[in-house]
Chains A and B, each alone.
Chain A
């Protein structure tokens, strides 16, 4: 069997500085959506991520969505909290200020929650993306 190798991809492993940079970018992204990309000078993505996630979060609050407390008593409470907390400082600042109490009788309560969950979960993907870019796995 004749196998021809036409291209040879060489991947360089990032050093300790590269790993620290990747962790810093991830941490920054976890605190503020898009900040990790801004640190990596991916300005277009940083602006889009900050704008989209913040807007979704604010719409969620405006639609009477609830910010779920850190409650690990059952699986669904934990998952709701984790999804909400994915928003980083947006979640924590609003939660400490007592915003996002939610109004379960409001017509838009569920819509609001979906916006907040989605924003948090998307931000988790954004953090992974920033990590991959910093590690050189992605451009």
Chain B
């Protein structure tokens, strides 16, 4: 329950799924878009976390 990365992945997964079904209609397009959004969410969140690391709060 205390695993940050697990919850980040779960949140990204569900959010990406909703975005995918909101913006794409065909199955193949949906798969590509889902993977793009999901990995972008995870990767950018990790990068943002590292960038915020030196901040004092």
Contact = CB atoms under 8 A, between A and B. Distances in A.
Contact of B22 (A59, A108, A111, A126): A126
Contact of B2 (A44, A56, A107, A115): A107
Contacts, number: 38
Contacts of B11: 56, 114-115, 118
Nearest to B22: A129
Interface in A43-87: 44-45, 48-49, 52-53, 55-56, 59, 63
A134 to B, nearest CB: 15
A118 B15 contact: yes
A39 interface: no
A122 interface: yes
A48 B25 contact: no
A94 interface: no
A118 B18 CA distance: 11
A44 B15 contact: no
A19 interface: no
Contact of A139 (B1, B18, B25): B25
B47 to A, nearest CB: 18
A108 B1 contact: yes
B52 to A, nearest CB: 14
B15 A122 contact: yes
Given A63-B1, A108-B2, A55 B21 contact: no
Contacts of B25: 139
A89 interface: no
A107 B1 CA distance: 9
Contacts of B39: none
Interface in A114-139: 114-115, 118, 122, 125-126, 129, 139
